[in-house]
């Protein structure tokens, strides 16, 4: 029974991700970070040429400090960079695959490949430096 629930959940999350882009903008790019899971991660990263994934947890103070910065940058770069968020407590496969040992960790993907990683909370100017370096 649990596997049937997982299949339904996976289908529903995939549908939400698909519809999120169309609701947020006519060109299909999300205007805010999309919540990702172990099951939806690869599809999201492969869908956009430039992706930043915020690995976080609800109990993490620095993660909560970084979140408004990520939200603002996602809004400002809509159509150029897609942002996602992965709760590392609930999605151990992503955390393990990318060796996320500390949070917050930002993962930078270009054309589906990990090109950079930033660990720790930082001001917007530092995050933007990583964006330029990662996507140059």
Query: pLDDT, tens digit, for every residue of 52-95?
Result: 999 999 999 999 999 999 999 999 999 999 999 999 999 999 99
Overall average pLDDT of the 120-136 stretch: 96
Of 30, 3, 6, 2, residue with least CA distance to 18: 30
Q: Which two tokens stand for residue 63?
A: 């993660």
CATH topology of domain 2-135: Glutaredoxin (3.40.30)
| Per-residue pLDDT reduced to its tens digit, 23-49 | 444 468 999 999 999 999 999 999 999
Task: Name the pairing type of β-strands 82-87 and 34-36.
Answer: parallel
1's CB contacts (< 8 A; 6+ apart) are none
Please list the active-site residues: 60, 63
């Amino acid at each position: 029974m649990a596997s049937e629930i997982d299949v339904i959940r996976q289908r529903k999350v995939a549908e939400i991700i698909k519809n999120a882009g169309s609701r947020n903008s006519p060109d299909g790019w999300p205007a805010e970070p999309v919540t990702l899971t172990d099951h939806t991660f690869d599809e999201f990263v492969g869908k956009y040429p430039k992706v930043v994934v915020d690995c976080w947890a609800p109990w993490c103070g620095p993660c909560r400090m970084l979140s408004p910065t990520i939200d603002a940058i996602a809004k400002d770069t809509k159509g150029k960079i897609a942002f996602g968020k992965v709760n590392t407590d609930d999605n151990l496969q992503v955390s393990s695959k990318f060796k996320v040992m500390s949070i917050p960790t930002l993962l930078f993907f270009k054309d589906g490949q990990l090109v950079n990683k930033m660990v720790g909370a930082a001001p917007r100017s530092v995050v933007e430096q990583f964006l330029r370096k990662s996507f140059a």
